[in-house]
Amino acid sequence: MLEIKNLHVNIEGKEILKGIDLHVRAGEIHAIMGPNGSGKSTLASAIAGKDIVEITEGEINYMGENLKDMNPEDRARKGLFLGFQYPVEIPGVSLVNFMKTAINENRKFKGLEPISASEFLKMMNEKQELVGLHAKLTSRSVNEGFSGGEKKRNEIFQMAMLEPLLAILDETDSGLDIDAMKIVANGVNKLKRSYNATILITHYQRLLDYVIPDFVHVLYKGRIVRSGEKELAQELEEKGYEWIEEEV
């Protein structure tokens, strides 16, 4: 599904990623861990197509296509979802309106008619329940005045609505209390299918108690320095990132 080969990325002329290789298949959950500043969010931005990211070497292939010249909305329409570390506020645009626009744009891309009002409403209710998003939030402006936990839950809600093939959740667990995190994890687990995949980007191991990854990668100073199965996360938690530092 996703194949990253020797990816080098600059941001404002500075090299942040220095040769990443990553292979994600359908049905898998990958966790990418690493200390602050190791390049985790940059990797997510590169996959989603943020324009400040400059790919200097290597390539990202998604569903057999090189993403190099693809704009972010087409990537999204082909099933790529990024849960933002800092979800963006859009004043005056209600979440309902925002989601309806997004769904219809995605449908148009697939050659489908716009969703009917009743179907959309049904879908909203269903997915809200799934992530425990309070109904009153959907009439408010996107992320405006949302608490930290509400913003993160809103990201999972949107993921549920858009039903992506590959979801990248960037620090979706940060700043959440344990209950909120369980809700997020629950959402991720419930949405797991044999045909989709998830990349969890996280600083801490605790999310991985609730979402069991198939693979764990440690990103350090722009490189994946270790890959393994879920035990690697445990080991990292016990020994801390200093351990990696020493190893490297």
Partner 1 sequence: MNASQDKLLAKVTQADYKYGFYTDIETDAFAKGLNEDVVRQISGKKNEPGFMLDFRLKAYSHWKTMKMPEWAHLTIPEIDYQDIIYYAAPLQKPTLGSLDEVDPELLRTFEKLGIPLEEQKLLSGVAVDAVMDSISVKTTFKETLAELGVIFCPMSEAIREYPDLAKKYIGSVVPYTDNFFAALNSAVFSDGSFCYIPKGVRCPMELSTYFRINMANTGQFERTLIIAEDDSYVSYLEGCTAPVRDNNQLHAAVVEIVVLDNAEVKYSTVQNWYPGDKNGKGGIYNFVTKRGLCKGDHSKISWNQVETGSAITWKYPSCILKGNHTTGEFYSVAITNNYQQADTGTKMIHIGKNSRSTIISKGISAGHGQNSFRSLVKVLKTADNVRNFTQCDSLLMGDQCGAHTFPYIEVENDSAVLEHEATTSRIGEDQIFYCNQRGIDTENAIGLIINGYAREVLNKLPMEFAVEAQKLLQISLEGSVG
Spatial neighbors of 98 by CB under 8 A, at least 6 apart, are 90, 142
By the rule CB under 8 A, 105 interacts with partner 1:
yes
By the rule CB under 8 A, 101 interacts with partner 1:
yes
Judged by CB, which is closer to partner 1: 146, or 215? 146
Q: Give backbone dihedrals phi and psi of 88, rounded to 5 degrees, phi first.
A: -90, 140
Q: Which of residues 149-188 bind partner 1 (CB under 8 A)?
A: 158, 162
Judged by CB, which is closer to partner 1: 168, or 236? 168
By the rule CB under 8 A, 146 interacts with partner 1:
no
- Kindly state the number of chain residues that form the binding site for partner 1, as judged by CB under 8 A: 30
By the rule CB under 8 A, 42 interacts with partner 1:
no
The stretch among 56-64, 79-87, 145-153, 233-241 that binds partner 1 (CB under 8 A) is 79-87
The site for partner 1 (CB under 8 A) is made up of: 48-51, 71-73, 75-77, 81-82, 84, 87-93, 97-98, 101-102, 105-106, 109, 141, 158, 162
